[in-house]
Amino acid sequence: MFVALGATLVDTDAIARALTQPAGAAMQPIEQQFGAKVLDINAGLDRARMRELVFADPTLKAKLEAILHPLIGEECTRQEAAAVAGLVVFDVPLLVESTRWRRRVDRVLVIDAPEEKQVERVMARSNWTRKTVLAVMANQTSRQRRLRAADGVIFNGGKTLEELGLEVHSLWDQWVQSPTR
């Protein structure tokens, strides 16, 4: 919705997926660090296998992040510099977990929903089991901490797209009219 209003979107999940596709910039260092067992049949990242590994061993998670995060950061910087819109929206699921992101952005918007709704949506979108979703959520910042870090919150627990659009427009008007920098 922000893009429709004129913002440029920089999506860190999309960047991470591109980096871990066959021949993606992260694949050689990932294979060197973790071995061929984390590759899918096309030599891209087997995300399910990697998820099993990193959520079972925090040191492996740190090693994966040491490979991906700098590459994601470089691509974010490139996309931000290429943006023609004045407002750049970074979609960063782990923004609160990373102190460098908070320093990089002017404001933080959290799209919130009840945890059960979050679980249902991830299960439907990603075809994950409830157990997998809960394991991933347990390794993320709590909902309360995420809300405390927010400069703005849009609650999306079941609103229509029209209702969400009204909230986005209102927030857009407030934030564009009073930039922080």
Question: How is the chain split into domains, by residue range?
Answer: 12-86, 92-181
Residue 46, pLDDT > 60, answer yes
Question: Does residue 74 surpass a pLDDT of 90?
Answer: yes
pLDDT band at 180 (very low <50, low <70, confident <90, very high): low
Q: How many residues does the chain have?
A: 181
Query: How much is the pTM?
Result: 0.87
Q: CA-to-CA distance for 8 and 33, rounded, in angstroms?
A: 34
CA distance 35 to 32: 6
**Architecture of the domain spanning 92-181:** 3-Layer(aba) Sandwich (3.40)
